[in-house]
Structure 1
Amino acid sequence: MNIRTNYIINNRTIALVSHYEMANEYTRVIHESESFIVRQPPDEIVRASFIHFGCPLEEAVDLARKILKKPDSIPIALCAKRNLILTRCKVPNQDGIVWLILSHINEIQRYRINKTTVFLTNGQSFYVDIKVNDLKNQRNLAACLCESLVNQSTEQKTKYYLYDHKKEIALALENGKLEYIVKRNKEDDEDLDLDIVLK
């Protein structure tokens, strides 16, 4: 099996699973149709990925708690625009953990009382130590978290294309729509002085 020294989660990442060699915890990365070993524990890969995307893991957890209004057992958004929402589960009957990218789950089924079978988008499946209803709830929360973060991002971005400094007339792309924003302080018969503003 291919071995790497480090890894950053991306759109093709499906899951990170603990893998032990000589008492060292590494990660088996399920990456589309292939798997490989990374010589980092899953939690370390997740932390490095959040830093790579510009938000430390702790800040992402706090933001998810604030949006979802839940203290724990919540999904965490690595990148909402790419639908990279993660949740952490235990591996049944052994040490180790699994980080699932929730958008790569096709189906979940009850396996035993506290265990669930996860069917992935690449056709693979495995067991996780979580109740099926709890994992279903994680998927629902992930959808809410993703939608909320994408909406917040859209609302915060107003792009101005034309702006008249004298009459305060702007042509802007706001909330995905082309809109005129008009606030006149000068007389209407003054000539418009329009500047192109790139943002």
Structure 2
Amino acid sequence: MRKRKNFKLEMNIEKEIGQETVLILPDYDEHGCLNSVMYHTDGMIKIASKPFDLIDTNLRFRGSSMRGAVEGSAAILGKLNKNPIIIDRDKGVILLPSKSAILDGCVWLSLQHIMECISLDARTTKVNLSTGSSIILDASKKSFQRRMEKAYELQFKMEAQKRFFESGRVIPETTYHLVKQAGGMNYEHRAGE
């Protein structure tokens, strides 16, 4: 059995993935260690953490994990390779990977910042971003568009679930007064007191 590394949550404002996050790139330092570069709407920042770990830390800070996000996405969309994941449901932050999330070369793009994708050749796609920037990915336009469609489907289904549960809330017509008698095992229901 593989030993799990001790997880230590180290989160700060610089590492936060939010609505202003455009993409997260893998970046090797001069010692060959994998780190991340986060591009935001107002610039970029280097983070001494692998993209996978950076995203996992963000999810754990919000009470989830990378594993939970991937499993949640698969539960909604069906089993997929290269699942989009929800970082922040309330703010609509969804990231989609350029390739399998476990590969070190995976680039993570924020769905809300993708404007269009253009095929450069059979295996290369240019993605134009909301900031006027672009990135060239090693993926066909068709496969990248399929990932985008799955991310939009995930977004749509999450919004539909949210609306369904919110519309199901009703103001109670009956009030309850619950009392546990001294020495009793259960609470007793006394309506209308």
TM-score normalised to structure 2 length: 0.74
1:125 and 2:121 equivalent?
A: no
Q: Secondary structure of 1:17's partner?
A: strand
Match of 2:3 in 1: none
Question: What is the total number of aligned residue pairs between the two structures?
Answer: 162
Superposition pairs of residues 16-27 of structure 1, within 5 angstroms: 16-22=24-30, 23-27=32-36
1:15 corresponds to which of 3, 8, 23: 23
Q: Does the Cα contact within 8 Å between 1:6 and 1:45 map onto a contact in 2?
A: no
Q: Does the Cα contact within 8 Å between 2:18 and 2:88 map onto a contact in 1?
A: no
Q: Does the Cα contact within 8 Å between 2:98 and 2:144 map onto a contact in 1?
A: no
Q: Does the Cα contact within 8 Å between 1:6 and 1:40 map onto a contact in 2?
A: no
Q: Does the Cα contact within 8 Å between 1:113 and 1:131 map onto a contact in 2?
A: yes
For residues 16 and 29 of structure 1, the distance between their equivalents in structure 2, rounded to whole angstroms, comes to 5
Give 1:161 deviation, angstroms.
Answer: 4.6
Q: Secondary structure of 1:78's partner?
A: strand
Match of 1:63 in 2: 72
Q: Secondary structure of 2:112's partner?
A: helix
Q: Secondary structure of 1:164's partner?
A: coil
1:111 and 2:120 equivalent?
A: yes
Structure 1 runs (4+) deviating above 6 angstroms are: none
Unaligned runs of 5+ in 2: 1-11, 177-190
Q: Does the Cα contact within 8 Å between 1:87 and 1:100 map onto a contact in 2?
A: yes
What is the one-letter code of the residue matched to 1:136?
Q
Match of 2:174 in 1: 164
RMSD (CA atoms):
2.5
1:136 corresponds to which of 129, 145, 151: 145
What is the one-letter code of the residue matched to 1:8?
E
For residues 115 and 58 of structure 2, the distance between their equivalents in structure 1, rounded to whole angstroms, comes to 24
Q: Does the Cα contact within 8 Å between 1:5 and 1:38 map onto a contact in 2?
A: no
Larger Rg: 1
Inter-CA distance 85–5: structure 2 relative to 1 (3 Å threshold):
closer
For residues 11 and 55 of structure 1, the distance between their equivalents in structure 2, rounded to whole angstroms, comes to 18
Q: Secondary structure of 2:107's partner?
A: strand
For residues 137 and 93 of structure 2, the distance between their equivalents in structure 1, rounded to whole angstroms, comes to 19
Deviation string, structure 1 residues 51-71 (Cα, Å, up to 9, x no partner)? 122221112111211211233
Deviation string, structure 1 residues 146-196 (Cα, Å, up to 9, x no partner)? 121122233334555564338xxxxxxxxxxxxxxxxxxx9xxxxxx79xx
Identity %, equivalent residues: 21
**Structure with the larger strand share:** 1
For residues 26 and 82 of structure 1, the distance between their equivalents in structure 2, rounded to whole angstroms, comes to 26
Greater Cα shift, 95-104 or 32-41 = 95-104
Q: Does the Cα contact within 8 Å between 1:17 and 1:27 map onto a contact in 2?
A: yes
Deviation string, structure 1 residues 38-90 (Cα, Å, up to 9, x no partner)? 11111111101111222211121112112112332321122233221111125
